[in-house]
A and B are shown apart, each in its own frame.
Chain A
Amino acid sequence: MIARAIQEPAAATEPDESSEEPTAPKAKILIVDDDERTALAVRTALEELGQTLVVAHSGEEALHRLLFDDYAVILLDVNMPGMDGYEMASFVRARKRTRHIPIVFLTALFRDDTHLLQAYSAGAVDMVFKPVDPFILRSKVAVFVDLYLKQAEIQREAELRHRLQEENFRVRAEKLTAEQALRRSQEHQEAMEKAEAHQRTLIEELNHRVKNMLTVVNAMARQTLASNPAPEDFTEKFVRRIDALGRTHSLLSREQWGTVQLCEVARDSLEPYLIEDKNRVVFEGPPVAFDPKTALALGIVFHELATNAIKHGALSNREGIVAMSWGLADNGNFRLQWQERGGPQVAPPERGGFGSRLIRLELTHELNGEVELIYEPQGLKVLMGFPLSNPLAVAQPKQGLAS
């Protein structure tokens, strides 16, 4: 036997519904009766409710129907061949998915207490007697339909609220993720810009230093030439002065332009003149660290003193020595003495050459200090003093000798 679902013609109402709101949900009503006439009568009575009517002609067919759909109410004939109404009702009550569906019994049986009791104990919520009064039936069923639709509405709203909430969470999470990504990208961008700016500063600084150094080399060339017009003299002196500058730069580069030790500056500056005997220059003084500016100035001074000693002073023979000693003076300045001994007898030059002018200028102009060149008969003595940019650069003078 084929069950027929009889649908209300919905075509008239559907187009009026706005597109955002689907057609008002309909309740399904299951009519179970083996008798075609009763089924038709019930259907006719209920059509007016505008719900979906499903007819099953046996208990088995009705149970099959219940597997696939939810129903607002079951109108169940008590007396059917095969599975009767009571048996079918007990199946409906036993199943979890159908337990809640109200059952209204349709019965032609006389209204005696036995039947009523059996019907209610089988799970009926109401009874309707055949022949069916369409008005009474419609009224009773309308109550269950209404109840069903209200429950469905409540459930739909709850689901909608739940969906909206989830959507809200999802959107918020996405927004948060996007914000985090944006922040990370901004931080990255800022770091990149900072690094680029730093690099630009370094390049500008390097450019400036190179140009300054070229200017120094130019100045060195012009001033060396002024006191050494002969090409061979000029070349020798100029190249050696540039070499001395280069040596101090190498030393500073090794120390990454931090600070350098005084004896290292002296050793590097004097090295080309002490190849034969390193013991001819003696150092005495505490360890002291100098900034690049001071180191470069002293490098030039040591070079000028050494070239003079080689040509005219203690390093011009095989016996003479140079004693360098240093420490802190009473006024807090750094003092450094260059003392030559054992060289040929010394007389003051008639006029200061470029070398001695350069020594004076490095001490006064570059280091804000002072210098005295004393031409003693046993050898040249140079007394230098200048303020320290960092007085802590000098270790306490307890170490004594430093060679």
Chain B
Amino acid sequence: MTASSASVLVVEDEALIAMDLQALLEDAGYRVLGPANSTAAAMALLAGQDPDVALLDVNLGRSDVFGVANELATRKTKLIFLTGHTAQKLPQAHRHRPLVAKPYLPHVLLQAVRQALAQQDNAA
């Protein structure tokens, strides 16, 4: 699978960070789904399609992203969490998944996306 055809769902409530993530991913050749600022917005985007990778900010205002994560765990989509917290804050079911710490470095973020896509290729 080439980068240009891979799709990445972005869930991030902070406008500036969402904008930055979108720009970084699009510049790297990915198709960005979103960015969604809430679980409801993400679910609406997921109704018609299965993204290859989902980049999920853990804290969404007063809520969290685990509703979306649980839904995507049933699909082929690879999950990457994005958070200022440590992995211990993740629920047991998601603790083994890759995590990119905030503040993130662009090459670290893109590396995590590439690795997720490689895993998906192996699984396929």
Which A residues contact B (CB, under 8 angstroms)? 204, 207-212, 214-220, 222-223, 226, 293, 297, 300, 357-358, 361-362, 365-366, 368
Q: Given A208-B85, A365-B15, A368-B37, answer yes or no on A219-B61 (Cβ-Cβ < 8 Å).
A: no
Name the residue on A nearest B20 (C-beta).
Answer: A219
Q: Given A212-B102, A215-B103, answer yes or no on A220-B61 (Cβ-Cβ < 8 Å).
A: no
In the complex, A223 Cα to B19 Cα: how many Å? Answer: 8
Find out whether the CB atom of B37 lies under 8 angstroms from the CB atom of A215.
no
Which residue of B16, B84, B101 is within 8 Å of A223 (Cβ)? B16
Find out whether the CB atom of B85 lies under 8 angstroms from the CB atom of A204.
yes
In the complex, A215 Cα to B14 Cα: how many Å? Answer: 10
Q: Number of contact residues on B: which range applies?
A: 20 to 34
Greatest chain A CB density within 10 A among B24, B35, B84, B104 is at B84
In the complex, A362 Cα to B19 Cα: how many Å? Answer: 10
CB-CB < 8 A to A293: which residues of B?
A: 61
Q: Which B27-46 residues have a C-beta within 8 angstroms of A?
A: 35, 37
In the complex, A204 Cα to B88 Cα: how many Å? Answer: 12
Find out whether the CB atom of B18 lies under 8 angstroms from the CB atom of A361.
yes
Greatest chain B CB density within 10 A among A210, A362, A366 is at A366
Name the residue on B nearest A368 (C-beta).
Answer: B37
B23 beta carbon closer than 8 Å to chain A: yes
Q: Smallest distance from the beta carbon of B121 to chain A beta carbons, Å?
A: 29
Name the residue on A nearest B58 (C-beta).
Answer: A208
Which B residues contact A (CB, under 8 angstroms)? 13-21, 23-24, 35, 37, 59, 61, 83-85, 101-104, 106
Find out whether the CB atom of B84 lies under 8 angstroms from the CB atom of A357.
no
Find out whether the CB atom of A223 lies under 8 angstroms from the CB atom of B23.
yes
In the complex, A209 Cα to B14 Cα: how many Å? Answer: 12
Q: Smallest distance from the beta carbon of A337 to chain B beta carbons, Å?
A: 21
Find out whether the CB atom of A214 lies under 8 angstroms from the CB atom of B102.
yes
Of the A-B pairs whose beta carbons lie under 8 Å apart in the complex, a sample of 22, sorted by A's number, is: A208-B83, A209-B84, A211-B101, A212-B14, A212-B102, A214-B102, A215-B102, A215-B104, A218-B20, A219-B17, A219-B20, A220-B16, A222-B106, A223-B16, A293-B61, A297-B15, A358-B15, A361-B19, A365-B19, A365-B37, A366-B13, A366-B14
Find out whether the CB atom of B19 lies under 8 angstroms from the CB atom of A211.
no
Name the residue on B nearest A360 (C-beta).
Answer: B15
CB-CB < 8 A to A209: which residues of B?
A: 84
In the complex, A222 Cα to B59 Cα: how many Å? Answer: 22
In the complex, A214 Cα to B24 Cα: how many Å? Answer: 17
